[in-house]
């Protein structure tokens, strides 16, 4: 690479540029940094990169395999080829069915008629995944890019291992802990026989959700999953299996009541190789805080569908918070956003606000699947995947902010080249100076745009602390936070309770008038067990109110927990006719409880 030259690649959400190489910009001797300067310091190094990629759900496989072999190869080249394509090198493979299936025919690798058990796993088989083409597709990905590695994840635990004896809903039954560990070990071995060595597995996708949709799922408390992980580690050790074990596979918001106690348990932490996160809710910094507290357990981003510029700034922030990977949810949909369990594949995928979008990187036709196109997501994600290769190390970089630009920097330790990914979610262009060592370049980042910069550093680096980071002042508004949760009644399975929660205004302004305060109570982060609506008076900063669950007719909550340890959580929102809901980032609290028989 030519010295004192900065290469630029650009993608914008409007589609004018997609991984477009711009004219190089000269780097000139640096001057004193100001608030508009991004400073990179390659001397201060953080986590290495494992990889970027997506997921092969049944929907993805179905859409791809409907295409002709030539067009299948063209699509896979666009995704995986490190030179001609986006350079994906990490894919997530479901064990059996997920919530994105081409038909309602859910299965695991050991399904039994209701009421029957298979303690010896005599009926275990991955044949249905073989038949649907999952392994043939995975092998082809690796032929195009030999650096591709795979993560395996569970959505549906065999129903007979759960309290409800069904693939949907329910909680894991601890009497099957050792059997389930054998099931997972056999899965890893069966994949290897198909030529797919799994780099890592997670014992359950979204461990704290099982009752929000009629699709394969299973709920685990952190203790239940810890015991499965310990048993699985014994299985792997006994069979000399080197596949890594990652826990959790769920959102930031509930990590304090699942990941934190898991990592604090020394035996569990010794058995773990990593923690997997999804970015569907909560403060991203929770992941970074736990990663820095337990640096011996790496963290990975394993699911989210980033379909707009703010979501790609989330990826930058997640990398700033120690993430070593990013895996998107879904890869290839048809022109209607399906087929999947939220639609029949003949109508657009509709978001809650009524708009439609295609949550994939590639779209092909419903009638003619060989007609396909790249979405803006392909280019925006490619700003990361094409340039941040495995083994590159994150280095110090002024983080920026969402009101201006955000950036993250990486070092190729073998070549010395620095790569910076920056994003602007504003509706106007943002000008700044990028500085590293004794050189700098003056740049302007257009609105709703991502750019990747590559250069060779030269001269003595300047510490980040010497450069003020630009911050556009924002008004600190009101915000609500749930505090202690209380109840009336016995914590006994099947008994009735009356739940309440203290809610405080932790912002710096009073809450609006005529506010409608809602507290949602849940068990282990799963579906709502109680909901309280309250016509809230104006709360001054620091003021609090107590909200009691108001269930129609009798106000009593039938306690549905099984005996054992659980987490009781409260989530709070407030809305009204003239103002939006309050910030969703810090509005969850929980307390661990023990339910008796």
Q: Is residue 531 domain-resident?
A: yes
Residues of the chain with pLDDT under 70: 1, 341-359, 463-476, 551-555, 576-586
Q: Which domain holds residue 450?
A: 5-46+393-466
- Residue 214's pLDDT is what? 82
Q: CA angle, 379 as apex, 375 and 385 as ends, to 5°? A: 130
Total domains in the chain come to 3
Residue 366 gets the label, from left (phi > 0), alpha (psi -120 to 50) or beta, of alpha
- Residue 473's pLDDT is what? 53
| 368's tokens | 């003619």
Instruction: Please spell the DSSP secondary structure of 504-570, one letter per residue.
Output: EE-SSSPPPTTEEEEEEEEETT-SEEEEEEEEEPPPPTT-EEEEE---TTT--EE--PPSEEEEEEE
- Residue 334's pLDDT is what? 87
CATH code where residue 179 lies: 3.20.20.80
- Residue 293's pLDDT is what? 98
Cα→Cα distances 99→61, 80, 96, 107, 358, Å? 14, 25, 11, 11, 16
| 265's tokens | 């348990």
- Residue 392's pLDDT is what? 98
Of 325, 349, 366, the residue at which a domain comes to its end is 325
Contacts of 260 (CB under 8 A, 6+ apart): 290
- Residue 469's pLDDT is what? 64
- Residue 550's pLDDT is what? 76
| pLDDT one-digit tens code per residue, 142-164 | 999 999 999 999 999 999 999 99
- Residue 553's pLDDT is what? 43
* Residues 462 and 487 occupy one common structural domain: no
Q: Is residue 376 domain-resident?
A: no
| pLDDT one-digit tens code per residue, 185-243 | 999 999 999 999 999 999 999 999 888 778 899 999 999 999 999 999 999 999 999 99
The secondary structure of residue 581, as a DSSP letter, is P
Of 466, 500, 526, the residue at which a domain comes to its end is 466
- Residue 345's pLDDT is what? 46
* Residues 102 and 249 occupy one common structural domain: yes
- Residue 67's pLDDT is what? 97
């Amino acid at each position: 690479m030519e010295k004192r030259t900065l290469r630029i690649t650009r993608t914008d959400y409007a589609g004018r540029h997609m991984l477009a190489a711009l004219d190089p910009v000269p780097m000139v001797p640096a001057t004193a940094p100001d608030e508009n300067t991004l400073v990179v310091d390659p001397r201060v190094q953080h986590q290495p990169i494992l990889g970027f990629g997506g997921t092969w759900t049944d929907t993805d496989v179905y859409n791809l395999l409907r295409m002709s072999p030539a067009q299948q190869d063209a699509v896979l080249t666009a995704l995986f080829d490190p030179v001609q394509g986006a350079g994906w090198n990490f894919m997530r493979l479901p064990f059996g069915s997920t919530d994105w299936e081409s038909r309602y025919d859910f299965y695991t690798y050991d399904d039994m008629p209701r009421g029957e058990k298979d303690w010896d796993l005599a009926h275990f088989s991955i044949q249905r995944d073989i038949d649907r083409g999952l392994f043939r597709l995975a092998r082809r990905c690796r032929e195009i890019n030999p650096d591709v590695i795979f993560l395996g994840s569970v959505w549906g635990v065999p129903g007979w291992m759960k309290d409800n004896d069904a693939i949907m809903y329910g909680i894991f039954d601890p009497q099957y802990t050792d059997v389930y560990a054998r099931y997972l070990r056999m899965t890893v071995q069966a994949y290897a026989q198909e030529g797919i060595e799994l780099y890592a597995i997670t014992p359950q996708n979204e461990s704290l959700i099982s009752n929000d949709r009629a699709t394969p799922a299973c709920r685990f408390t952190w203790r239940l999953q810890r015991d499965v992980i310990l048993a699985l580690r014994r299985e792997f050790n006994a069979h000399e299996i080197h596949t890594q074990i990652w826990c959790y596979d769920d959102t930031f918001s509930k990590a304090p009541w699942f990941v934190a106690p898991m990592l604090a348990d020394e035996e569990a932490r010794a058995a773990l190789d990593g923690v997997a996160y999804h970015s569907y809710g909560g403060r991203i910094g929770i992941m970074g805080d736990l990663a820095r507290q337990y640096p011996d357990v790496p963290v990975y981003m394993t699911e989210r569908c980033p379909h707009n510029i703010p979501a790609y700034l989330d990826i930058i922030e997640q990398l700033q918070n120690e993430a070593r990977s990013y895996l998107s949810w879904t890869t290839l949909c048809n022109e209607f956003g399906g087929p999947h369990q939220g639609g029949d594949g003949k109508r657009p995928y509709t978001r809650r606000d009524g708009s439609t979008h295609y949550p994939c990187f590639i779209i092909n036709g419903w009638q003619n699947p060989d007609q396909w196109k790249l979405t803006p997501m392909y280019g925006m994600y490619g700003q990361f995947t094409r340039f941040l290769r495995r083994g590159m190390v994150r280095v110090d970089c002024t983080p920026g902010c969402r009101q201006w630009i955000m950036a993250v920097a990486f070092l190729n330790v073998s070549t010395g080249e620095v790569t910076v990914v920056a994003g602007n979610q504003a509706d106007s262009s943002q000008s700044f100076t990028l500085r590293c060592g004794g050189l700098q370049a003056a740049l302007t980042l257009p609105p709703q745009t991502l750019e990747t910069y590559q250069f060779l550093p030269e001269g003595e680096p300047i510490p980040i602390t010497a450069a003020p980071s630009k911050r556009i002042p924002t008004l600190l508004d009101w915000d609500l936070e749930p505090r202690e949760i209380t109840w009336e009644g016995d914590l006994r399975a099947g008994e009735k309770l009356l739940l309440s929660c203290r809610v405080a205004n932790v912002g710096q302004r009073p809450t609006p008038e005529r506010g409608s305060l809602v507290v949602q109570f849940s068990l282990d982060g799963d579906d709502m067990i109680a909901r309280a609506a309250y016509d809230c008076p104006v709360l001054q900063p620091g003021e609090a109110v107590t909200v009691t669950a108001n269930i129609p007719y009798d106000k009593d909550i039938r306690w549905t927990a099984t005996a054992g340890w659980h987490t009781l959580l409260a989530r709070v929102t407030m809305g009204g006719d003239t103002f939006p809901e309050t910030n969703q980032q810090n509005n969850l609290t929980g307390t661990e409880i023990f339910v008796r028989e």
